[in-house]
Amino acid sequence: MDDEKFDCIIVGAGVAGLAAAMTLARNNMKFLLIEKGEFAGSKNVSGGVLWGHDLAKLVPNYWEEEDAGWERFINHRRLTFMDDESTLSIDFKSAHFNEPPYSGVVVLRSKFDRWLAGKVEEAIAESEYPMDSFIATNIKVDEVLMENDKAVGIRTGEEEFFADSVIIAEGVNNLLTRQVGLQDDYVPADHVLTGIKEIIRFDQNVLEDRFQLNGKSGMSNEFVGYATDGVEGGGFLYTNRDSISIGLVLGIKDLREKEKSPHDILSHFKSHPVVADTIRGGEVVEYSAHVVSSGDMRIMPKELYKDGLLICGEAANLLMNAGKAIQGMDYAMRSGILAAETIVEAKERGDFSSSTMKEYRTALDDSYVMKDMRGFQDAVQMLHQPMMYKEVPNLMCGFGKKFFTIDNQPTKKARELMSESVKEHSSWWNLIKLGIKGGRSL
Ligand SMILES: Cc1cc2nc3c(=O)[nH]c(=O)nc-3n(C[C@H](O)[C@H](O)[C@H](O)COP(=O)(O)OP(=O)(O)OC[C@H]3O[C@@H](n4cnc5c(N)ncnc54)[C@H](O)[C@@H]3O)c2cc1C
């Protein structure tokens, strides 16, 4: 039996599971990575920009590869406020972001995860145990096997596989995390969102001209206001190589209460005159939807480890959207790396009990992932307030219309125009309260 036992079984070949697998392979560990999809990435959805430099740790010089799994690097960021006819944007583009390692790359998950899985296969082949580690797809893990509250393996259908440790990297629908008793059965709907996305294809030259892209440069654009038709959430648009990803992230509770369908809201977003101009001539080639965590720490599992067990990525509800960007993939990647490093340490010590496993929690707490999650909880609460996706975008656009109108009348000062817009769409008192909250939390 011991010969058949792995050092680790990883459940889920998303970003977290693949990062863990790569780290284990590089450390000559024997592992089994199991994915229920037909191939890594086949079931995954992201907007999506993978932020930060961790990808370069996993695949050094990934940007030099001819057919790497990423689409474009980001050097152009835009945050857009919308009312029903206008947009007002904060726009930042800089050559500062032009050199690798890039601070963000746009990915399409079915391509990116598959490419990263290929890199893991290469790392397995180069390891000391090329015949003892595997990526197995098209297999759903039904149960984590527990003995005396210690993870000892997994069951899939009638088959059981054993290991000294299990990493759960199953993503936001964390059924196994619940099965092992680390997540309450019921996560309230106001703490999860639904993400929907379309891929719209263009002639590459048209895309590059329209978005002023040069070579592999790309743009990310977040939207608040009209995009979500009064429902909690926001919109996004990212440029891929010859297409864009356009979509929404919407509060599930709010959707239900307002009896609106995500698809109708996406059509509403795309019909906005400014957005319609932007996507003109493109062809919708793909549609996908996926649940996404809100980043509220109250829905994190009770703990992220047990004897022989670690939980990483969105299974642990690691995600942040404090208005600047959605960060889920980079959190998944870092947590996957840290989980695997803990398993490597456990093997060296010959101790897979929770006294070693808890070092994962310490490492995660000390990393930017938990520092940001703790540090920006107030911002998460603030950004989910109706004022952020209703009054603020309306008053910003209201101001824009007044400020940019030249009508051969005496011109009012900007201060006066802002005051008029605030009174029309909200009140100074509400704005001051929001400003204080924003100042403290962002
Ligand atoms: C519309 C949308 C836009 C987003 N935009 C961004 C963005 O721009 N930037 C960003 O960083 N993040 C973004 N995110 C969030 C990001 O996609 C997630 O945080 C990230 O994918 C989490 O990675 P993960 O590896 O933890 O989970 P996942 O990527 O969900 O992977 C989990 C894997 O486990 C597999 N699995 C699950 N259960 C089992 C089982 N029982 N047996 C076998 N396999 C199993 C699944 O098939 C899947 O492959 C977005 C999400 C959505 C929905």
Question: Has residue 211 been placed in a domain?
Answer: yes
Statement to judge: residues 196 and 184 lie in one domain: no
Question: Has residue 79 been placed in a domain?
Answer: no
Rounded-to-integer distance, Cα 137 and Cα 181, Å: 26
Report whether residue 34 contacts ligand 1, using a CB cutoff of 6 Å: yes
Question: Has residue 90 been placed in a domain?
Answer: no
Number of domains in the chain: 3
CB atoms near residue 344 (< 10 Å): 17
Question: Has residue 80 been placed in a domain?
Answer: no
Statement to judge: residues 289 and 304 lie in one domain: no
Report whether residue 171 contacts ligand 1, using a CB cutoff of 6 Å: yes
Rounded to the nearest angstrom, the distance between the alpha carbon of 148 and the centre of ligand 1 is 30
Domain of 308, CATH number, reads: 3.50.50.60
Statement to judge: residues 142 and 279 lie in one domain: no
Contact (Cβ atoms closer than 8 angstroms) between residue 32 and residue 189: no
Question: Has residue 89 been placed in a domain?
Answer: no
Three-point CA angle 59, 199, 263, nearest 5°: 130
Statement to judge: residues 183 and 204 lie in one domain: no
Rounded to the nearest angstrom, the distance between the alpha carbon of 4 and the centre of ligand 1 is 30
Dihedral, CA of residue 396, residue 399, residue 405 and residue 407, to nearest 10: 160
Rounded-to-integer distance, Cα 153 and Cα 160, Å: 7
Q: What is the pLDDT of residue 1?
A: 43
Report whether residue 87 contacts ligand 1, using a CB cutoff of 6 Å: no
Rounded-to-integer distance, Cα 292 and Cα 433, Å: 29
Rounded-to-integer distance, Cα 19 and Cα 116, Å: 9
Domain limit, last residue, from 293, 326, 342: 293
Report whether residue 54 contacts ligand 1, using a CB cutoff of 6 Å: no
Report whether residue 314 contacts ligand 1, using a CB cutoff of 6 Å: yes
Statement to judge: residues 207 and 344 lie in one domain: no
Report whether residue 114 contacts ligand 1, using a CB cutoff of 6 Å: no
Q: Whose CA is nearest to atom 34 of ligand 1?
A: 12
Statement to judge: residues 313 and 302 lie in one domain: yes
Statement to judge: residues 22 and 140 lie in one domain: yes
Tell me the pLDDT of the chain (442 aa) as tens digits: 455 799 999 999 999 999 999 999 999 999 999 999 999 988 777 669 999 999 999 999 999 987 789 999 999 999 999 999 999 999 999 999 999 999 999 999 999 999 999 999 999 999 999 999 999 999 999 999 999 999 999 999 999 999 999 999 999 999 999 999 999 877 777 788 999 999 999 999 999 999 999 999 999 999 999 999 999 999 999 999 999 999 999 999 999 999 999 999 999 999 999 999 999 999 999 999 999 998 999 999 999 999 999 999 999 999 998 888 999 999 999 999 999 999 999 999 999 999 999 999 999 999 999 999 999 998 888 888 889 999 999 999 999 999 999 999 999 999 999 999 999 999 999 988 888 888 888 7
Q: What is the pLDDT of residue 40?
A: 92
Statement to judge: residues 60 and 123 lie in one domain: yes
Rounded to the nearest angstrom, the distance between the alpha carbon of 430 and the centre of ligand 1 is 37
Statement to judge: residues 288 and 348 lie in one domain: no
Question: Has residue 77 been placed in a domain?
Answer: no
Q: What is the pLDDT of residue 3?
A: 58
Q: What is the pLDDT of residue 42?
A: 83
Rounded-to-integer distance, Cα 312 and Cα 27, Å: 19
Report whether residue 35 contacts ligand 1, using a CB cutoff of 6 Å: yes
For ligand 1, what atom is nearest to the CA of residue 12? Answer: 34
Domain of 257, CATH number, reads: 3.30.9.90
Sequence-ordered list of residues with C-beta below 8 angstroms from that of 415, at least 6 positions apart, any chain: none
Instruction: Report CA Rg, the chain.
Output: 23
Question: Has residue 78 been placed in a domain?
Answer: no
Question: Has residue 171 been placed in a domain?
Answer: yes
Sign for the pseudo-dihedral over CA of 221, 227, 228, 230? positive
Supply the range of the domain harboring residue 141: 2-70+105-188+296-375
Statement to judge: residues 289 and 325 lie in one domain: no
Statement to judge: residues 428 and 323 lie in one domain: no
Report whether residue 295 contacts ligand 1, using a CB cutoff of 6 Å: no
Helix, strand and coil percent figures for the chain, each rounded to 5: 40, 25, 30
Domain limit, last residue, from 375, 408, 425: 375
Domain limit, last residue, from 333, 349, 375: 375
Q: What is the pLDDT of residue 59?
A: 95
Three-point CA angle 83, 248, 183, nearest 5°: 130
Contact (Cβ atoms closer than 8 angstroms) between residue 278 and residue 239: no
Sign for the pseudo-dihedral over CA of 148, 154, 156, 160? negative
Statement to judge: residues 57 and 195 lie in one domain: no
